[in-house]
Amino acid sequence: MTKIEDRIGRRFEKLRISLLNTCNFSCVYCVSEDANDIPAVFSTNSIKEQPLTPDEFNRIISEIHSLNPLKSIRLTGGEPLLYRDLYTLIKNIRSIGINDIRLTTNAYYLKEKAIKLSEAGVKSVNISVDAIDRELFKRISRHPDPSRVFAGIEAAVKAGLNVKLNAVIMRGENDSQIIPLLDYATELGIKIRFLELMKMGHLYESKNGHFFSEAEILETIKEKYAIEKLPRKHAETANYWRTSNRGIFGIIANESTPFCHDCNRLRMDSNGIFYGCLSNAHGEKLAPHLHDKDQLTEKLKGLLLLKQPVRFHGSELSMRNIGG
Ligand code: SAM
Ligand code: SF4
């Protein structure tokens, strides 16, 4: 089997699949206010492509896995809990020998699904929560009542899932929430990761005035807690620290501390288009090449070449389409 590897040793080991591009939230950093970006579930006139079926996903995943062994799969979106055949899909993925299945969700529907997801074989969930303050959370998510998210988080912890929280920090919007979010995660005994705002989709050409850096996040936390840096694991997107009250937090600092040099992710968007890098909007449909292993290998090698050497720049890709 030809090794699909670039000249600095990067390989595709993790596949992120955006199951669908619809969502019940419209987070300000993810989608614009523009009418075309309103989630289909709220809109009568927006035309969305039908999501792929579990069989279609399975065929694509198994062909890639046979040429390029995958260690884990992350299901994302849009909102993956809105994908109708989620449990069937998870079962199918496990049947091809990939048992490390993870999910990234806004947790709105997690309270009722956490146990079933755990029983289906999901190991861990990353949950987006950008504020403890409910009014602020409403403004950021553009949802009238995001408070169910907290019940979802707590149900996932109870179900034994490995839970991590993700919070995108924006200057003047929710930088006041760093400590309340950290304290909430510490009380639950789970990790939280703060994300630097990425210039994706509608933010690509923006000035990024809301950007709040890794250094500023650290300064904010150090005002309350002494912190100690933890060693970074291979291909980890976040750097981690431990606080003096035994909380653990990470920072995903695409701008300040990019992790391109050992990035091992391949992404598939909700239309079945594959991307080698979030910072490169060039994508390829792999479905037409599944019948020919040589062609598929060449396509995967081409996607690997799109990874940036060292730096993340952002791109026009919509996060709701590609899944983060
Ligand atoms: N709906 C799910 C959720 O919110 O967790 C999954 C899809 S969402 C696109 C995946 C991740 O992308 C979330 O953690 C979200 O916070 C992050 N994200 C979206 N737009 C972003 C941006 N402009 N900068 C940084 N992170 C972003
Ligand atoms: Fe939906 Fe997730 Fe995007 Fe928010 S970040 S609008 S929850 S896809």
Helix residue ranges per DSSP H, 21-75:
54-67
pLDDT above 70 for 97: yes
Ligand number, closest to the Cα atom of 105: 1
The helix (run of H) or strand (run of E) holding residue 120 is: helix 114-120
Q: What is the pLDDT of residues 1-53, one digit of tens each?
A: 678 999 899 999 999 999 999 999 999 999 998 745 444 433 333 345 689 99
44 or 299, higher pLDDT: 299
Spacing, Cα 323 to ligand 1 middle (Å): 7
Spacing, Cα 54 to ligand 1 middle (Å): 23
% of residues, the chain, pLDDT over 70: 95
Spacing, Cα 29 to ligand 1 middle (Å): 8
Q: Is 20 in the pocket of ligand 2 (CB under 6 A)?
A: no
Atom index in ligand 1 nearest the CA of residue 203 equals 23
State the chain's mean pLDDT as an integer.
92
Q: Is 195 in the pocket of ligand 1 (CB under 6 A)?
A: yes
Ligand number, closest to the Cα atom of 252: 1
pLDDT above 90 for 289: yes
pLDDT for res 120: 96
Spacing, Cα 292 to ligand 1 middle (Å): 34
Minimum CA distance residue for ligand 1 atom 2? 105
pLDDT above 90 for 196: yes
- Retrieve residue 64's tokens: 């890639």
Give the model's confidence band at 235: pLDDT under 50 very low, under 70 low, under 90 confident, else very high.
confident
Domains of the chain, each with CATH number or no CATH: 14-322 (3.20.20.70)
Ligand number, closest to the Cα atom of 278: 1
Spacing, Cα 184 to ligand 2 middle (Å): 21
Spacing, Cα 120 to ligand 2 middle (Å): 24
Ligand number, closest to the Cα atom of 319: 1
Strands (DSSP E) along the chain, which ranges?
14-18, 72-76, 101-105, 122-128, 162-169, 191-196, 227-229, 239-243, 248-252, 265-268, 273-275, 284-285
Averaged over 217-227, what is the pLDDT?
98
pLDDT for res 178: 98
Distance CA 8, CA 238 (A): 20
pLDDT for res 39: 43
Coil, helix or strand at residue 177: helix
What is the pTM for the complete model shown? 0.94
Q: What is the pLDDT of residues 145-191, one digit of tens each?
A: 999 999 999 999 999 999 999 999 999 999 999 999 999 999 999 99
Averaged over 265-286, what is the pLDDT?
92
Comparing 174-178, 206-210, 271-275, 303-307, which segment has the lowest mean pLDDT?
206-210
pLDDT above 90 for 309: no
Burial 206-236 (b: 16+ CB within 10 A, else e): eebebbbbbebbbebbeeebeeeeeeeeebe
Atom index in ligand 1 nearest the CA of residue 25 equals 1
pLDDT for res 30: 95
